[in-house]
Amino acid sequence: MKKFIFALITVLALLAIIAWSGLLPASSGGPPAPPSPAGNLTPTPEVTPTPGIDAQEAEKKAEKVALEIFPEAQIDRTTVELTGDGDYFLYACEVWTQDEKNIQVWIEPAAGDIRQFDVNGQMIGRPAEPVVSMDDARETAQAYVDEKSGGADLTQPSEQYNPFSSGAFGTVAGRYSFNYDRLIRGVPCDSDSYSISVDAVTGEVCRYWKQWKTDEALCTADTVPSVSGDDAKDAVRAYLKETWGDLPSLEIHTADLVWYDAPYFMKIRGTDPIPLVWEVRFDDDHYRSLTYPRMADAFVDAHTGEVLRSSYHPDAA
């Protein structure tokens, strides 16, 4: 989910992050950032979970985040809304400072964890090119994720730079994004991860995203696969042909071992063991011709060879 959680890292996330200021990210050809956790949530005032923190506590936490980012700022106003769907809820908080800086913060009610924050910026006055280097931004992001994760076992599979772009202002310096996958028994999780963005002008962390729900005790499969990566690719080719017919322009690029802990999959399986899978990434002429080109993926059980899921659709937009 993530590599496609850095697979719908730039476009969806940056649109959510900077919608307040009207910015549009310029395409860099990389995978998009993890979508905002509030993106698919709708207000549900008629459904009230039993939270570990109330709205007032959520407001204080959100304002604390804002003041950590802008220590000299004065809080002007904060809104808090409990949003959710079914058994999943978040406090969606929006903080404005007196000089109209804007920070959005999402908080899980049960534990009071900060799930995500986004700093919404302005294009006016930003230089065209980054002031901060990728190396310096990576060092900042690494220090931040080390602090927030408590030194958890992580791997950094992807990083990218995305400028900001709009018809009115052209293209200006944007932000660097770094994704960190959780490791369980040396194998990355498909879902559990951190994502950190660093402003390419100020060098400050401007976006934070956390997904951390997988029960390590459910990851019991042998980490040595019974099915090879090449065999997993062949299984995907056969699956796509059976499902969609011949795909002459199909190109299969990578096969990576991960724990298949995607939330929608785990909701179906409950407390069943989490399968070890090959995440196979591929594209074709249609995916390469999209406004924001991307890859599709498929997940193949690394011990049985069964294709558990594929995101491919010939009419994907």
Given a cut of 80, is residue 162 above it in pLDDT? yes
Q: How confident is the model at residue 122 (pLDDT cuts 50, 70, 90)?
A: confident
CA-CA-CA-CA torsion sign (163, 18, 123, 138): negative
Q: How confident is the model at residue 167 (pLDDT cuts 50, 70, 90)?
A: confident
For residue 127, the model assigns a pLDDT of 94
Model pLDDT for residues 178-236, shown as the tens digit of each residue: 999 999 999 999 999 999 999 999 999 999 999 998 999 999 999 999 999 999 999 99
Q: Are residues 262 and 187 in the same domain?
A: no
> What Rg, from alpha-carbon coordinates, does the chain have?
20
Mean pLDDT to the nearest integer, 13-20: 39
For residue 289, being part of any structural domain is answered with yes
Q: Please give the Cα distance from 261 to 184 (Å, whole number).
A: 11
For residue 2, being part of any structural domain is answered with no
Last residue of a domain, one of 213, 247, 274: 213
For residue 43, the model assigns a pLDDT of 38
Q: Are residues 188 and 78 in the same domain?
A: yes
CB count in 10 Å sphere of residue 222:
10
**Tokens 């969806």 correspond to what residue?**
12
Q: Please count the structural domains in the chain.
A: 2
Given a cut of 70, is residue 1 above it in pLDDT? no
Given a cut of 70, is residue 312 above it in pLDDT? yes
The answer, as to whether pTM is greater than 0.85, is no
Contact of 12 with 39, CB cutoff 8 Å: yes
Given a cut of 70, is residue 21 above it in pLDDT? no
Q: Which domain holds residue 274?
A: 229-310
Given a cut of 90, is residue 276 above it in pLDDT? yes
Last residue of a domain, one of 213, 246, 265: 213
Contact of 260 with 228, CB cutoff 8 Å: no
Between the alpha carbon of residue 74 and those of residues 54, 66, 99, 283, the distances in Å are 23, 10, 8, 48
Q: Are residues 131 and 241 in the same domain?
A: no
Q: What tokens does 171 get?
A: 């293209």
Closest CA to 91 of 121, 122, 120, 63: 63
What is the end-to-end Cα distance of the chain in Å, rounded?
A: 17
DSSP state of 185: T
Contact of 37 with 13, CB cutoff 8 Å: no
Q: Are residues 125 and 177 in the same domain?
A: yes
Q: Are residues 93 and 198 in the same domain?
A: yes
Minimum mean pLDDT among 67-76, 266-275, 276-285, 296-305: which range? Answer: 266-275
For residue 166, the model assigns a pLDDT of 85
Q: Are residues 196 and 236 in the same domain?
A: no
Q: Are residues 22 and 115 in the same domain?
A: yes
Given a cut of 60, is residue 27 above it in pLDDT? no
Closest CA to 209 of 83, 34, 90, 67: 34
